[in-house]
Amino acid sequence: SKPRSQMTDLIYTEKELVQSLRDYIKAEESKLAAVKSWASKLDALTRVSTSDPEGYLAHPVNAYKLMKRLNTEWSELESLVLQNPSDGFISNMSIHRQYFPDEEDETGAAKALMRLQDTYQLDSETFSRGKLPGTHSSAMLTVDDCFDMGKTAYNDADYYHAVLWMQQSLRQLDAGEEAVVSKSDILDYLSYSVYQMGDLPRAIELTRRLVAIDPSHQRAGGNLRYFERLMFKQLNELNQAYQPSSEEPIQLGTYSRPKDHLPEREAYEALCRGEGVQMNERRRSHLFCRYQDGNRNPRLLLKPIMEEDEWDSPHIVRYLEVLSHEEIEKIKELAKPRLARATVRDPKTGVLTTANYRVSKSAWLEGEDDPVIARVNQRIEDITGLTVDTAELLQVANYGVGGQYEPHYDFSRKDEPDAFKRLGTGNRVATFLNYMSDVKAGGATVFPDFGAAIWPRKGTAVFWYNLFKSGEGDYRTRHAACPVLVGSKWVSNKWLHERGQEFRRPCGLTEVD
């Protein structure tokens, strides 16, 4: 999907186009009015002339006016009819079209909705009626919108979502909503998707409904005979009687979602919903908050930073009031023109590519770009006590609706072609993550390994070590950015590297200190 900043431009573009469309309608209407007045004038004239052609032409003025009308006036009328008031609108469209989203953008947005549907366990009804947590306005999906969602999934061979959305489309059509798409089209997709999900009885029932509406539908008839043969073959093998399918509408739990590449998918999504967080009273009693002056750092002596424990082991802390509203606005302003779809390193080839598991826009800012960036870098050094000389640039990321970063490690692992070798600064020892916006719903940072969920709060930052003091990777720090359900999430992060920390964070006595 497009970055938020570009999408807001599209909103203004659309407003301009609506104005242009209004102008076109006005021009078209005034043209029609002119043609109509000609028509009624000529209508009256010809009524008189045809009632008595001889008598009419006996008058010399009438004879002259007939010549004049046919020679010049009808030609004028012809050029009036040939005028095309749509030119302005069409050229306006062509100018803006280069900035329009394309097929890929539309598919991406549809898939984002399905991602949200899965992660937050929302049924298609909730989405279609626009009832989302934290929203006051509602945005509705029509029968045709739901049908297009289903078609997007279907074309991707994702029959699980195709069923959910075709079912919703059908439900709204049956409730009497107007639509372009026909009931037989919906049943066609729905019945085949249900068959693909392995539910023969329901596929048969839906195909029967399709044949009843549209008896001439060739494929449906063929499918029905095929499904029935298959069904009876299965029943014979199992020695069972035919059970008609349940009348219950298909819901979220009717079919199970196909497994995918992510082993901890269930745990990750539960944490995103705030379920299964492994925080208990005993653990909470070990968490404290304190004023942190960075080992009597002169910049923090007068105004120490507030530090709160978010998790005991591995130790994760949250700092309060790290960035001011003005600093956040400045960072966003610097990042906006540079935002581009974030890339990830392919572990097998070491090549940077875009990936579905990381959907966000990111930009890198250096201290030289603006005094604010230099100040933020210095502040991170003061708070953590680690040098930022060997750190990567400040990365700013914007996650729009559906934006996410699935579970990943921030450090480079033994089995990878070393991504950080070329930097000569060692591995990513720690992560400092600034939350630069509040998110209405979704968008948590979660750690599936030990069951933590950290919710974005504007102006705060979280910090953790990715490596033990020995330089060994702490595999518990695998974490994810949950998809944003409502709102927009802005973060900036600083990845600190091992070089230069030798005396700031010396080794312990064991490998896992």
Cα–Cα distance between 437 and 430 in angstroms, integer? Answer: 22
In a domain, 423, yes or no: yes
Of 59, 79, 98, the domain-final residue = 98
In a domain, 194, yes or no: yes
Q: Coil, helix or strand for 290?
A: strand
Cα–Cα distance between 303 and 54 in angstroms, integer? Answer: 107
Sign of CA dihedral 156, 157, 158, 160: positive
In a domain, 259, yes or no: no
When divided into structural domains, the chain yields a total of: 3
In a domain, 145, yes or no: yes
| Domain shared by 377 and 288, yes or no | yes
Q: What is the CATH number of the domain that holds 387?
A: 2.60.120.620
**What is the residue range of 302's domain?**
267-497
Please give the structure tokens belonging to residue 199: 């539910």
Which residue(s) pair with 352 in the sheet?
345
In a domain, 506, yes or no: no
Name the strands in the sheet holding 404-408, side by side, starting at the edge strand that comes first in the sequence.
358-359, 404-408, 479-481, 445-447, 452-454
Name the strands in the sheet holding 461-465, side by side, starting at the edge strand that comes first in the sequence.
289-292, 305-311, 316-320, 461-465, 428-435, 489-497, 394-399, 361-365, 340-341
Q: Tell me 401's DSSP state.
A: B
Of 98, 130, 145, the domain-final residue = 98
Contact (Cβ atoms closer than 8 angstroms) between residue 265 and residue 406: no
Angle at CA of residue 446, ends 362 and 104, nearest 5°: 40
Please give the structure tokens belonging to residue 145: 């919108």
pTM reported for the whole predicted model: 0.85
| Domain shared by 89 and 198, yes or no | no
pLDDT tens string, the chain, 513 residues long: the values are 555 667 888 999 999 999 999 999 999 999 999 999 999 999 999 999 999 999 999 999 999 999 999 999 999 999 999 999 999 999 999 999 988 988 988 998 999 999 999 999 999 998 898 888 877 777 899 999 999 999 999 999 999 999 999 999 999 999 999 999 999 999 999 999 999 999 999 999 999 999 999 999 989 999 999 999 999 898 888 877 777 777 777 877 889 888 888 888 999 999 999 999 999 999 999 999 999 999 999 999 999 999 999 999 999 999 999 999 999 999 999 998 888 766 677 777 777 777 666 677 889 999 999 999 999 999 999 999 999 999 999 999 999 888 889 899 999 988 776 667 777 899 999 999 999 999 999 999 999 999 999 999 999 999 999 999 999 999 999 999 999 999 999 999 999 999 999 999 999 999 999
In a domain, 1, yes or no: no
| Domain shared by 452 and 328, yes or no | yes
| Domain shared by 207 and 307, yes or no | no
Please give the structure tokens belonging to residue 503: 């005396």
Q: Residue 418: left if φ>0, alpha if ψ -120 to 50, beta else—which one? A: beta
The residues, any chain, with a CB within 8 Å of residue 145's CB and separated by 6 or more, are 128
| Domain shared by 234 and 320, yes or no | no
Please give the structure tokens belonging to residue 270: 């539960």
